[in-house]
C-alpha cells in the first residue's frame, strides 16, 4: 500500500514510534477518506483496511495493529460490537476506537463493555481523529462529548427504585433483555437462542410491557442500571 507522508511538518519518527492502524468500515469511500488524511501523518501508518468483521478479525490475527478504527454497522453478518469483542480476545494489546454515526445507549454501553477504548462520532475533525489515535496508542481513552455525557449521567445516582423490577420477567425474557443490552438485534437474538424471530418480537413486547418501558433503548438502559450486564 503506498504511503504518502508529509515529512515537512516534522522529522520522520523511528519505526518503533509509528502507530499501525486498521480501518474497519463497510463503505469504501469512508475508508479511503480516512486513509487519505491519516497517511499525511508521519507517525501513523495505515497497514490495512477491512469492509466487514470477518476481514477485520483476519487482519488483526495477521498484522496485530496498534489501533483499530471500528464502525459499528458493518452490514451483513457480525456487527462492530461483536467484532470488537472477538478482536480484544485475539489481540488484547490492540486498542479499538469506535468511529460511528450512532450514539444511543444501545450502542454506547455494549461497545464499551466489549472492550472499545474510545467512542467517537464520524463528524469528528480529522485532526482530532489523529490525536485520538495517538492517545489510544498510549492507552488513553477519548469520548465524543455526547457519549461522555451519557456515561457520566449513567454513573450518577437516580431514582432507579421507581423502575419496575426485572424479577417479574421469565427466564427467557431475561435472556433476551441481556442480549438487547449487549446490542443484539431481533434476528441476532433469534439466531443466538435458536428461536423464531416472531417469538423474539413477542418476548420483547412482553419485556417492555412488564417493565413499563417505551423502547429497546430504555430496556438496554434498565439492564445496565440493574447490573444485568
Task: Give dist(CA 203, CA 183) in Å, integer.
Answer: 16
| Mean pLDDT in residue range 1-30 | 68
Q: 150-155: list long-range contacts, CB under 8 Å, 24+ apart.
A: 150/103, 150/105, 150/108, 151/108, 151/112, 154/105, 154/109, 154/221, 154/224, 154/225
Nearest to 57 by CA among 37, 75, 80, 73: 80
- Domains detected in the chain: 15-153 (3.40.50.2300), 160-225 (1.10.10.10)
Res 24: pLDDT: 98
Q: What is the pLDDT of residue 164?
A: 57
Average pLDDT of the residues in 144-155: 84
Q: What is the mean pLDDT of residues 131-136?
A: 97
Tell me the HSE value of 46 on the side-chain side, using a 13 A CA sphere: 23
CA 19 remoteness from chain centre: 20
The least confident of 28-32, 102-106, 114-118 is 102-106
**112 in Cβ contact with 152 (< 8 Å):** no
Question: Three cell numbers at 96?
Answer: 479499538
pLDDT band at residue 57, thresholds of 50, 70 and 90? very high
Say if residue 142's pLDDT is above 90.
Answer: yes
* pLDDT at position 157 over 70: no
Residue 156, pLDDT score: 66
Q: What is the DSSP letter of 18?
A: P
| Other CB atoms within 10 Å distance of the CB of residue 104 | 13
**Average pLDDT of 120-130?**
96
Q: Report yes or no: 180 and 220 within 8 Å, Cβ to Cβ.
A: yes
Residue 164 in grid coordinates:
419496575
The DSSP output letter for 164 is P
Predicted confidence (pLDDT) per residue in 187-218, tens digit: 999 999 999 999 999 999 889 888 888 888 88
**Greater pLDDT, 209 or 71:** 71
Instruction: Give the pLDDT confidence score for residue 165 in this predicted structure.
Output: 65
- The whole-number average pLDDT for the span 183-189 is 90
pLDDT surpassing 60 at residue 177: yes
Q: Which of 183, 64, 20, 26 is nearest to 112 (CA)?
A: 183
Contact 72, 80 (CB under 8 A): yes
How much is the pLDDT for 116? Answer: 95
How much is the pLDDT for 219?
A: 85
Half-sphere exposure of 40 (CA within 13 A, CB side): 10
Using a cut of 0.75, tell me whether the model's pTM lies above it.
no
Residue 5 has pLDDT above 50, yes or no: no
Going 137 to 37 to 82 to 111, the CA torsion angle's sign is positive
Amino acid at each position: 500500500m503506498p504511503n504518502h507522508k508529509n515529512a515537512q511538518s516534522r522529522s520522520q519518527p523511528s519505526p518503533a514510534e509509528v502507530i499501525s492502524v486498521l480501518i474497519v468500515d463497510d463503505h469504501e469511500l469512508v475508508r479511503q477518506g480516512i486513509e487519505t488524511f491519516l497517511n499525511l501523518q508521519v507517525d501513523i501508518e495505515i497497514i490495512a483496511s477491512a469492509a466487514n468483521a470477518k476481514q477485520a478479525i483476519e487482519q488483526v490475527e495477521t498484522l496485530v495493529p496498534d489501533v483499530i478504527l471500528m464502525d459499528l454497522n458493518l452490514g451483513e453478518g457480525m456487527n462492530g460490537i461483536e467484532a470488537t469483542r472477538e478482536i480484544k480476545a485475539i489481540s488484547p494489546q490492540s486498542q479499538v476506537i469506535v468511529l460511528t454515526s450512532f450514539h444511543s445507549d444501545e450502542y454506547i454501553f455494549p461497545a464499551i463493555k466489549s472492550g472499545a477504548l474510545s467512542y467517537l462520532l464520524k463528524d469528528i475533525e480529522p485532526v482530532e481523529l489523529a490525536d485520538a489515535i495517538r492517545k489510544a496508542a498510549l492507552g488513553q481513552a477519548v469520548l465524543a462529548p455526547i457519549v461522555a455525557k451519557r456515561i457520566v449521567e449513567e454513573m450518577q445516582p437516580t431514582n432507579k427504585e421507581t423502575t419496575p423490577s426485572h424479577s417479574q420477567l421469565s427466564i427467557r425474557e431475561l435472556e433476551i433483555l441481556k442480549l438487547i443490552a449487549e446490542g443484539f438485534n431481533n434476528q441476532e437474538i433469534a439466531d443466538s437462542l435458536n428461536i423464531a424471530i416472531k417469538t423474539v418480537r413477542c418476548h420483547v413486547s412482553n419485556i417492555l410491557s412488564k417493565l413499563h418501558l417505551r423502547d429497546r433503548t430504555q430496556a438496554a438502559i434498565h439492564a445496565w442500571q440493574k447490573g444485568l450486564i
